[in-house]
Amino acid sequence: MEDAMTAAVLQSVAAVLPSVLPQPEERRRSEEGFRRWAVIMGTVHAKSLDPLPMHGRDLSMDPDDLIQKPEQEAESKLEILENKDVVVQHVNIQGLGRTKEDLLGYEISDVFHAKNLIDVMKRAHTARQKLLRLGIFKEVEVLIDTSEGADALPNGLDVTFEVTEIKRLTGSYNTMVGNNEGSMVLGLKLPNAFGRAEKLTFQFSYGTKETAYGLSFFKPQPGFFERNLTLNMYKVTGQFPWSSLKETDRGVSAELNFPLGMTNHTLKWEGVWRELGCLARSASFAVREESGHSLKSALSHTMSIDSRNSAIFPSRGALLRINQELAGYTGGDASFLKEDFELQLNKQLFWDSVSSASLWGGLLYPIGGQPSCIADRFYLGGPTSVRGFGMYSIGPQSEGDYLGGEAYWAGGLHLYTPLPLRPGKGGFGDLFRMHFFLNAGNLCNLNYGSGPHAHFQKLVECIRWSYGAGIVLRLGNIARLELNYCVPMGVQSGDRICDGVQFGAGIHFL
């Protein structure tokens, strides 16, 4: 893709810059002041061109032999443009208001290392993308011009970035799709709050199962946007009908994100005051026992490697995500060690079909002899995990209320194909896929006094599995909808099944 972009830029420059062809030294000196180029957002324009010579050298050849084909002329110009040495003398930024110049120096400094005109354009385009990524500019335009002034070199260039800053206060209204739930989101944002790409955000969301509001502060490291710090204050009230439980969380958190080689890492501390209560009078005694207040203080670390070409409809690549959480050592009355992972592999097959394999797993180990809390356990089942079963309706339960488990695994094999006869190919029809799947998994509590062999036996003795087919719809790059016909198998006593058509919406699917 980069080679194609370079070729297109070279052809554009060659078409409009005949003046860069080699000329005699004395003519170059006398007409240097007439040479001027402008590059605006990757498009090259000639503001003034050198006049073509009226007569060429007498080579004692037939005039028809001097006529070159357009392709040959273009090739020679492209070669000259690629090899023409230039020096970037000045890089200017125009249109700054509240943004600090030292922040932008990190993003544009690479332009000074360009060696030729094409390299200048490529590095300027990369710098423009970095400036837009900061989220503080509405528009960024690039102007490349010959150097002027007493210190101007014959091959010197000046690069100017013309920026338009985002307003001091912005608002947003949108809808969000979670795992089989939807919500309305209202937000207020102060971008570039202190002039160095900081962001202060207030957000309120009201959904089918959850209501939340929170305040967050985002601070990137200058020159290294991927390394950033986020501080949060929030209150979340959620309903969990599969457990007849409602939960209100009031908390603060600090989160540090940074890349390391091919991996991305997140270090997080969270302190949360949790209030658990019964959602209905019919709640089981086991859920009533969990009701009350608790304080959790936890440290967590997440490592991920994601080479997929899309998070919603990947056709190639892999994802590995590993998460560890340790609660109790920094305070609070919840003490446990929690580990979970996610693995996904995708491969494109014939006729635009894609095969996908997924594997999830997790383990929660209570510390200090305390039993685990219902809010910290794993849950399994539903249209986003093991299809053909009710939402989070696999595993331990009491009087119809599902209590979650301390260990689980789930796996899936999928085949995605285009719609039959390819209606709407190249347009709306590409948002749909046929979906064939085979899912399996189990969730349970382990006796940690026994050995690993007993744990393995427990996890594989009551496997739930299902198979089926359906249609998948991609909603942009943020979510997807599934309508599947499911056949649940391996059903155990107490499981809630969905035998037949099942609808699912979310961002995270097995």
- The domain ranges of the chain are 87-165, 221-506
Question: What is the SS3 assignment for 18-86?
Answer: HHHCCCCHHHHHHCHHHCEEEEECCEEEEEECCCCCCCCCCCCCCHHHHCCCHHHHHHHHHHHHHHCEC
| Token code pair at residue 70 | 């357009």
β-sheet bridge partners, residue 320: 305, 343
CA angle in degrees (0–180, nearest 5) for 207-209-215: 55
| Token code pair at residue 139 | 């528009």
Predicted confidence (pLDDT) at residue 83 exceeds the cutoff of 80:
no
Q: Which of 98-102, 258-262, 437-441 has the lowest mean pLDDT?
A: 98-102
pLDDT value of residue 288: 92
pLDDT value of residue 51: 37
pLDDT value of residue 494: 87
Predicted confidence (pLDDT) at residue 59 exceeds the cutoff of 80:
no
Q: Are 92 and 161 in contact (CB under 8 A)?
A: yes
- The 10s digit of each residue's pLDDT in 167-181 is 999 998 888 777 767
- 257-274 burial code (b ≥16 CB/10 A, e <16): beeeeeebeeebebbbeb
pLDDT value of residue 423: 78
Neighbours of 496 (CB within 10 A): 18
Dihedral of alpha carbons 426, 429, 434, 440, sign: positive
- The 10s digit of each residue's pLDDT in 311-364 is 888 999 999 999 999 999 888 889 999 999 999 999 999 888 999 999 999 999
- Residue 247: its H or E element: strand 245-260
Q: Are 286 and 398 in contact (CB under 8 A)?
A: yes
Q: Are 334 and 373 in contact (CB under 8 A)?
A: yes
pLDDT value of residue 385: 93
Q: Are 316 and 309 in contact (CB under 8 A)?
A: yes
Predicted confidence (pLDDT) at residue 256 exceeds the cutoff of 90:
yes
CA distance 415 to 349: 10
Neighbours of 159 (CB within 10 A): 24
Predicted confidence (pLDDT) at residue 60 exceeds the cutoff of 70:
no
Look up the CATH architecture of domain 221-506.
Answer: Beta Barrel (2.40)
Q: pTM (2 decimals)?
A: 0.79
Among residues 467, 476, 397, 388, the alpha carbon closest in space to that of 435 is found at 467
Q: What CATH number is given for 87-165 in this structure?
A: 3.10.20.310
Neighbouring C-alpha atoms within 13 Å toward the C-beta of 479 = 14
Q: Are 226 and 260 in contact (CB under 8 A)?
A: no
CA distance 471 to 474: 10
Neighbours of 284 (CB within 10 A): 18
CA distance 488 to 162: 60
Backbone angles phi, psi at 129, to 5 degrees: -65, -40
Q: What is the mean pLDDT of residues 282-292?
A: 91
| Token code pair at residue 450 | 């026994």
Going by their DSSP bridges, the two strands 87-94 and 156-165 should be labelled as parallel
Alpha helices by DSSP H, 279-431 = 285-290
